[in-house]
């Protein structure tokens, strides 16, 4: 089952690479990724991951919360 997350991060490619890197290292399957820039120095990442049997979306959120670039994470319901 695919789950979509909205992640607010610092603006820039470094933040994108950190988030994607941590998810790939933890063996999450990223299906889709979109980055939207805002005027206030932050960016929004919309990430669709495959919520497999072994790894849950809650575990992905916990890993991303440890990153200093990440300000807010929200699971989008009903968007899939």
Q: Are 57 and 49 within 8 A, CB to CB?
A: yes
pLDDT tens by residue, the chain, 80 residues: 889 999 999 988 999 999 999 999 998 999 999 999 988 889 999 999 987 756 788 999 999 999 999 999 999 986 54
User: What is the pLDDT, as a whole number, of residue 16?
Assistant: 94
* CATH code for residues 2-76: 3.30.70.260
Q: Where are the domains of the chain?
A: 2-76
3-state SS class at 54: coil
Kindly give the interhelix angle for 57-65 and 13-25, rounded to the nearest 10 degrees.
130
User: What is the pLDDT, as a whole number, of residue 56?
Assistant: 84
Instruction: Name the CA radius of gyration of the chain, rounded.
Output: 12
Q: Where are the beta strands (DSSP E) in the chain?
A: 2-10, 29-37, 42-50, 70-76
């Amino acid at each position: 089952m695919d789950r979509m997350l909205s992640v607010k991060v610092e603006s820039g490619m470094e933040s994108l690479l950190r988030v994607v890197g941590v998810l790939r290292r933890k063996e999450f399957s990223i299906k889709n990724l979109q980055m939207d820039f805002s005027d206030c120095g932050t960016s929004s990442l919309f990430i669709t991951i495959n919520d497999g049997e072994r790894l849950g979306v809650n575990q992905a959120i916990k890993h991303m919360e440890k990153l200093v670039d990440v300000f807010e994470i929200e699971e989008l319901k009903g968007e899939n």
